[in-house]
Structure 1
Amino acid sequence: MRFMVLIKADANSEAGVMPSEQLLAEMGRFNEELVNAGVMQAGEGLHPSSKGARVRFSGKERQVIDGPFAETKELIAGFWIWKCASLDEAIAWLKRCPNPMLGESEVEIRQVFEAEDFGAELTPELRAQEDQLRTRVEEQLRQQDA
């Protein structure tokens, strides 16, 4: 199972306050543990919402809303993608994580849908398309790293 681990923003992350050297070192050690255990598949911090935008969909209409966004507690400051056997395993890993913010913080764990979760609606043709797209993305990433 894959899980997205969402680090919630706070006033400091939204103000662009960068983590301390100590926190970066602690997170680096934690990320190394995740990688060594085969858990971490991706992970990044995000710029403040003031540097972002949202696109609101209403039928065929699209409305662009520039950041910053008001509800800081609903914003994401960073994320990981983890591969774990269960939600309980993901929770156990997260409990070992250094606090990602200066004060109180909250981190959300959500399971990522896999192809088999979609049942018969994901036809063989749609599954083939999905597999082909994943292969192309992996090839592009390999080319970027070369």
Structure 2
Amino acid sequence: MGQKVSIGKIAILLSALTEEELEYFRGSLNDVKYCQGRVGSMNMQKVISAVETAAKRNGLIHESFYREAHALYHAILEAIEGVTRGHPSIGEMSRTVGLRFSVVRGYPYTNVEEGEWIAVAFYGTIGAPVKGLEHETIGLGINHI
């Protein structure tokens, strides 16, 4: 038996907090693997690629294991749906995003035999491609590996 870890809550915090704010929580991140990044674009594929690249570079998923890349991809898509309010498109609708993101991998159940899961969170802005006309947005996706 292990300790239950709230990978979704951790992912949201990692995406929303500044580096300075995050210092208060670093000690509680020992039970998970994580990475953070930023992406701004009107192109949905660039958003997806930024998260995938960060997860691979930081060792959160193994490129040679399809199930890991697949789990990450579905977590990204679920998080994007939150950001875009259920309409997963940006540039096609004349919207742009400026997002911070995090990817967290861990065991969200006390029984470790339930396996590892992966969470992706986005926090930032979405809106018309005119500076100052965007609003805050957040999205969270979680999938089993």
Smaller-chain TM-score bracket: under 0.3
If the length of structure 2 is used for normalisation, what is the TM-score?
A: 0.26
If the length of structure 1 is used for normalisation, what is the TM-score?
A: 0.26
Higher normalized contact order (CA 8 Å, seq sep 6+, divided by chain length): 1
Larger Rg: 1
